[in-house]
Amino acid sequence: MAAYLEIAIVPVGVVDPTVMGWLKQDLPGILTAGVEELPPLPLSPRHFQKERNQYLADGLLADFATIVHPPTALFLGVTEADLFSPPMNFVFGVANTGRALISTFRLRPEFYGVPSNPEVYRWRVFTEAVHELGHALGLPHCEFPGCVMYFSNWIGDTDRKGPKFCYRCGKRIERLVEMGRG
């Protein structure tokens, strides 16, 4: 990728510093990006839905509009909270122009009743971060199951697709970065 991105990542609520370290290390390899970690934000209780025991992802994402960061930077929030976005029962992440949010809650192998596996967990976190940042740059979902932009309906989709763009989405992301962020 010829152009260069700036990504500002911020923990939302308490987030394992190891996860933040993985993202700072892994994101530049796929998106040709500089990654800066911003100070943590509190997990806003106003977006917590007690009856679901989940946070409204879209509400948390909207709160990011108030954060001061370079205008050319993409913003990536990372939370350990379980998220939902109607009409879906849960989401791994959400995004809109320039901003993205991922949840690590359902990415941990232990959530699915299997033993902890840091390599699998790191792969999932990285994959979902790249996916949501792709949306933040303007990419839609892709129909190719091996592309990071493929919609993950369940964790198996995330495991299968991995963090790389297919050829077509890779070319689209290059153009988008050159036009708006490079």
Name the residues annotated as catalytic. 132
- In sequence order, the β-bridge partners of residue 75 are 8, 99
Neighbouring CB atoms inside 10 A of 55's CB total 26
Phi first, then psi: give them for residue 127, nearest 5 degrees.
Answer: -60, -50
Sheet strands side by side (includes 83-85): 48-49, 54-56, 83-85, 88-91
Per-residue tokens: 5 = 């991105």
